[in-house]
Amino acid sequence: MLTEICYRFTTAQVANRFLNELKHWPVADVKAKLFNGSESVKITYQFDGKGFDYTCSELDDLARKYQGQEV
């Protein structure tokens, strides 16, 4: 199942830092890009639909590190 999550950040600079960290993220294979302006990031990844989605949880934790919130 293809999963998409969007996060909004306080500034474009913070959004780009988050985006750059995802380029070398060791947790999962995700695709990320700026979305709906320069202060939001859209992430797409594959989830098998079984059990708990640890990728989503890790993404939430990483976004929180940059004061981002899911939209």
Give residue for tokens 């990483």. Answer: 62
Rg (CA), the chain: 11
**Any idea what the CATH number is for the domain that residue 63 is in?**
3.30.70
Range of the domain at 51: 2-70
Taking only the tens place, the pLDDT of each residue in 7-64 is 999 999 999 999 999 999 999 999 999 998 899 999 999 998 889 999 999 999 999 9
Query: How many domains would you assign to the chain?
Result: 1
Q: How far is CA 12 from CA 18, 26, 30, 38, 68, in A?
A: 10, 23, 20, 5, 11
Which single residue is written with the structure tokens 């981002």? 68
